[in-house]
Amino acid sequence: MKLKSIICLSTAVLTSANLTASALPPSLITRQSGKVKAEISQLKVVQNNGKEGWSAFEEISGLAEVTLRLEINRGGKINFTKTLSAMYRSGDLPREFRIIDLDGDKEPEVFVTLLSEIGSATHANLSTSIYKYQPQKSTYSETDISWENFGYEIKDLDKNGIPEFISVDNRFKESLGLCTICVSPPIRIWQYRKGQMVDVTRRYPKAIRSNAYTIWREYEQVRSNKQHAKGKLAGYLATKYLLNESEDGWRRIKQAYQESDRTSFFNDLRALLREKGYIPK
Distance, in Å, from the CA atom of 94 to the CA atom of 113, rounded to the nearest integer, reads 6
DSSP string, 255-272: HH--STTHHHHHHHHHHH
For residue 19, what pLDDT is reported?
28
CB 132 within 8 A of CB 109: yes
- Residue 218's pLDDT band, with cuts at 50, 70 and 90, is very high
For residue 189, what pLDDT is reported?
98
Cα–Cα nearest to 110, from 161, 163, 36, 41 = 36
DSSP string, 160-183: SS--EEEEE-GGGTTGGG--GGG-
pLDDT at position 1 over 50: no
- Residue 149's pLDDT band, with cuts at 50, 70 and 90, is confident
Query: Tens of pLDDT along 98-115?
Result: 999 999 999 999 999 988
pTM of this structure? 0.83
Element (H, E) at 92: none
CB 64 within 8 A of CB 45: yes
For residue 150, what pLDDT is reported?
84
Span 122-145, mean pLDDT?
Answer: 90
**2 vs 158 pLDDT, higher one:** 158
Helices (H), the chain: 205-222, 226-242, 246-256, 262-275
Helix, coil or strand: residue 24: coil
The sign one gets for the Cα dihedral 99, 103, 105, 106 is positive
Distance, in Å, from the CA atom of 223 to the CA atom of 220, rounded to the nearest integer, reads 5
Query: Tens of pLDDT along 226-257?
Result: 888 999 999 999 999 999 999 999 999 999 99
Mean model confidence pLDDT for the chain? 83
Distance, in Å, from the CA atom of 261 to the CA atom of 251, rounded to the nearest integer, reads 17
Domains and CATH numbers, the chain: 23-149 (2.40.128), 153-281 (no CATH)
pLDDT at position 12 over 50: no
Cα–Cα nearest to 216, from 255, 173, 170, 177 = 255
For residue 50, what pLDDT is reported?
60
